[in-house]
Amino acid sequence: MARLTLREAITEALREEMQRDENVFIMGEEVGAWGGTYAVTKGFLEEFGERRVRDTPISEMVIAGAAVGAAMAGTRPVAEFMTINFAFVAFDAIVNHAAKVSYMFNGQFDCPVVFRAPGGGGKQLGATHSHTPDVIFAHFPGLKVVCPATPYDAKGLLKAAIRDNGPVLFIEPVPLYTSPKVRGDVPDDDYIVPIGEADIKREGSDVTIITYGEGLHVSLDAAEMLAKEGVEAEVVDLRTLQPLDMSLALASFKKTFKAVVVEFGHQTYGIGAEIVAQLQEQAFDYLDAPIKRVAQYDVPAPYSGELEKMALPDAKKVVTAVKEIL
């Protein structure tokens, strides 16, 4: 058991899977000689060689398209986008090719490709480099979408994604990469975290907070603040957005009768809207108060650090939302 950062856990998962299966290889901008934009693949070129750690042109459509073809041909590529914002350029290859090829060929082809995509705001990268577009990709059947928030989950989910026989978009919240508060225990043994299973990260009986990604740590901070006032919040980490496991959220909601959804994407048409819809469809009789949403404001991400913080969720906003429905 080692205490790792989120970035270190991702690196460990990649290294172990490349050592386990020679069909796994990495491709993307600066993943080789530079070691990755966020140093996730540092040292991989020396360890695995140019055949399995491939620097690509600055063209996300080329990266995604080549990865899909390689996956159909029997390998297991891990294609890195420097940032999820650039995945928009590769949208056709991800949504029309990777997500649909098995269906279009009646199962004659598998497409075991993983698209790694660092994402999220909060790093003063400006409006065009700070998107949290997770809901857009989760909208399309055939593509699994994963977003871990702890080192344990990151390692286990990435290993599961690489071993999956279909395409997986693996979203890595950039602000969590090296955050000391996110450092956690990660087993040395080989393990996976199943894709499509949520997790209870904190038990409580007064209100349910449903979240994922960076929202998990904001929610846990809020839960600690509420506990000092005698309010026990249960925190449900979705971990996977497609397929979406609502079983734990529903069970928790039926216990607390109240819920707040926390996400770092924009509120309008967001992940939270889908969660609220499913809660009221499947557990309407347990509803004691309106379900609140805490999300990024519907504005382009400001470049100013202080303004960007104002636009994003924080623990105080979650606490306020909880108090409004108690």
| Percent of the chain clearing pLDDT 70 (strictly above) | 100
User: For the segment 303-313, what is each residue's pLDDT rounded down to a tens digit?
Assistant: 999 999 999 99
pLDDT of residue 192: 97
* Structure confidence at residue 181 (pLDDT): 87
Q: For position 283, which CATH number holds?
A: 3.40.50.920
Domain ranges, residue 251: 199-325
Q: Are 258 and 207 in contact (CB under 8 A)?
A: yes
Which listed residue (60, 214, 234, 308) is catalytic?
60
Q: Helix 315-325 crosses helix 214-227 at what angle (to 10 degrees)?
A: 60
Per residue in 143-177, pLDDT (tens digit) is 999 999 999 999 999 999 999 999 999 999 999 99
In a domain, 132, yes or no: yes
Last residue of a domain, one of 186, 218, 237: 186
Are 208 and 180 in a shared domain? no
| Amino acid 321: pLDDT | 98
- Residue 32: Cβ-neighbour burial (10 angstroms; 0-12, 13-18, 19+): buried
In the chain, alpha helices (H): 6-20, 44-48, 60-72, 91, 101-104, 134-138, 151-163, 214-227, 247-256, 271-283, 305-311, 315-325
Report field, pTM of the whole predicted structure over 0.85:
yes
**Whether residue 151 is found in the same domain as residue 30:** yes
Q: Is 60 a catalytic residue?
A: yes
Residues 135 and 81 in one domain: yes
Rounded Cα distance between 196 and 242, Å, is 7
**Catalytic status, residue 139:** no
Which CATH number characterizes residue 49's domain? 3.40.50.970
**Catalytic residue (one of 97, 129, 131, 217):** 129
242 neighbors 252 (Cβ within 8 angstroms): no
pLDDT band at residue 1 using 50, 70 and 90 as cut-offs: confident
Q: How many domains in the chain? A: 2
Q: Model confidence over 106-124: pLDDT tens digits?
A: 999 999 999 999 999 989 9
